[in-house]
Amino acid sequence: MIASLALVACLVLLVAGVWWIWQNRQGLSGQASSLLDRLPIARGAEASATPLPSQAVAQAPLATLVPATPTPTITLTPPPTPTVTTSPTVTHTLAPTWTSLPPVTATPTQVYTLVPVTPCISYYDETNGNLKFACQLARHSWTVETVDSTENVGLYTSLAFDSRGEPHISYFDKSNGILKYAHKSTAGWDIERVDESGSAGWYSSLALGGDDQPWIAYYVASSRQIRLVHRQEMTWQALEVVTLAKEAPDQMRISLKLDRQGKPLLAFYDPQDGHLKLAAWDGIQWKIEAVDNSPRVGGFCSLALDKGGNPGLSYFDLSKAYLKYAHKVNGQWNIELIDAAGEVGKYTSLAFDSQGLPHISYFDEDRDDLRYAHWNGKSWNAAKWVDTYTRTGTYTSIALDKEDRPYIAYYSLDARALRVVAWTGYAWDPWTVDQAGKVGLYPSIAFQYERLVPSGSPGGE
């Protein structure tokens, strides 16, 4: 009996346990479904961007965004501005008063000798656009004055002294395109506008006649003409030499001299056939001859007359970049190659000494150096280290003192200054004449003369 009751009790407890387990499983399933509905996960087509009102969606807090390391800002710091040291200002002290000597009377008994005494230079001040003039007072002491400061003037200067020791300068007025002429007497500088026909005055070259009246050869860019003007009784008379078929190149130069009869000779480069030419006025017409028929020769030509009145020319061979020299003797041109060591021969200038021997200054393009060559009667001697200053020697102009020693004026590229070098007899002596800005382009050097009257001559002791 007791066993039967225990069996029944066990069955009741078993049924109750199964019923309780079944109930709890249904509750867990409902809770799991409710939790899935609350997760913000899109489940195919059943997903909704907007939660239902009955679903209280707990928004999880946003993650704290840590900003990325910012790209560093690169500040470009300019290099420090160099301290510009201004060169000492040149005091434009007027040159010593020119002593006017009595006019020379053309009589057979009048005998005098012009002796070179003081070197002077005309040149262009590019910084201020002025024509300037400098004269030596002592070995390294020069006076500097401004001759013309009206706009941009002073290119292609050419300087000569008359028998009174008074300077004459021809030059180009770039602002107005005209040829100008300046003459200094005891009253000061007198400036004239010579040719205003349009872009006239390029490559001017000046020579003085026996009457001290000026002759000027120059190029007119607007018409491609080479012209010659002569001043007579306050009037300028113009004469066309030749009209070039092509425009003049940068290597173009015109060089003028007067022969013993006072007739003009002028050398120039003809860009049409590329030849160096010499034009001579016979009193009626121009006679033009080719000096060197080689292709493209004659740039930077410089004309001078030896003691016998024979013409000589230094010039640049544009094809081969050589310095050449031509000398006319007994009606024949003798052509010589002077220097072929690299690109040499630009900016040449020629002068003959009292023995009739040529001296030539020129520029070495490869080494940026000033050079000098001299014929000693047997051979050419070339000096390479005339001025050891770096990058120097363009626009050379040469003149000889009373002892036939050369003085060379030139432009220094690095110093942007006018420099002069002189041969002392045993060494070259260079120095700076003017460095107030960019100065010294287109220099022309000449000696002021002193007139000596020999003993026993009229006016002598």
The amino acid sitting at 300 is F
Pairing of strands 254-258, 264-270: antiparallel
The CATH number given to 113-452 is 2.130.10.10
CA atoms of 394 and 365, how far apart (whole Å):
9
Let me know: does 337 contact 326? Beta carbons within 8 Å.
no
CB atoms closer than 10 angstroms to residue 388: 10
Position with higher pLDDT, 91 vs 350: 350
CA–chain centroid gap for 386, Å, is 21
- List, in sequence order, every beta strand (DSSP E) within 293-379: 297-305, 311-317, 322-329, 332-339, 344-352, 358-364, 369-375
CA 318/CA 331 separation, integer angstroms: 26
Distances in Å between the Cα of 323 and the Cα atoms of 109, 363, 395, 439 are 44, 9, 15, 26
Is the pTM value of this prediction over 0.85?
no
Give the pLDDT confidence of 205-228 residue by residue, as tens digits: 999 999 999 999 999 999 999 999
- Give me the pLDDT at residue 112, please: 61
- Would you mind telling me the total number of residues written for the chain in this entry? 461
H/E element holding 383?
strand 380-383
Structure tokens at 80: 């420090």
Query: How does DSSP assign 133-152, residue by residue?
Result: EEEEEETTEEEEEEEE-SSS
pLDDT for the residue 110? 42
Band (pLDDT 50/70/90 cuts) for residue 14 is low
Per DSSP, the three-state class of 452 is: strand
Structural contact between residues 372 and 387, judged by C-beta atoms closer than 8 angstroms: no
- β pairing state of 392-400 and 380-383: unpaired
**Whether the Cβ atoms of residue 221 and residue 202 lie closer than 8 Å to each other:** yes
Which amino acid type is present at position 115?
V
What are the start-end ranges of the E strands in 210-319? 214-220, 225-232, 235-243, 254-258, 264-270, 275-281, 286-292, 297-305, 311-317
Q: Please write the tens of the pLDDT for every residue from 182-192.
A: 999 999 999 99
pLDDT digits (tens, 9 = 90+) for 16-43: 555 544 454 444 344 434 433 333 333 3
Q: Which strands make up the sheet holding 344-352, listed edge to edge?
A: 344-352, 358-364, 369-375, 380-383
d(CA 345, CA 299): 9
Every domain of the chain and the residues it spans: 113-452
- Looking at every residue in the chain, the average pLDDT score rounds to 80
Range of lowest pLDDT (91-100, 176-185, 295-304):
91-100
- Tell me the β-bridge partners of 372: 361, 383
User: For the chain, what percent of residues have pLDDT higher than 90?
Assistant: 67
Q: Are 123 and 129 in contact (CB under 8 A)?
A: no
Reported as a single tens digit per residue, the pLDDT across 407-452 is 999 999 999 999 999 999 999 999 999 999 999 999 999 999 876 6
Q: Which two tokens stand for residue 296?
A: 């493209």
pLDDT of res. 406: 97
DSSP state of 245: S
Give every CB contact of residue 265 below 8 A, 6+ residues apart in sequence: 256, 257, 258, 259, 278, 279, 280, 281, 303, 305, 311
pLDDT in tens, 253-305: 999 999 999 999 999 999 999 999 999 999 899 999 999 999 999 999 999 99
Summarised one tens digit per residue, pLDDT across range 309-333 is 999 999 999 999 999 999 999 999 9
Strand partners, 122: 133, 444
The answer to whether residues 29 and 37 touch, using CB atoms and an 8 Å cutoff, is no
Separation between Cα atoms, residue 239 and residue 206, nearest integer Å? 15
pLDDT category of residue 116 using cuts at 50, 70 and 90:
confident
Would you give the DSSP letter of residue 211? T
Name the helix (H) or strand (E) containing 280: strand 275-281
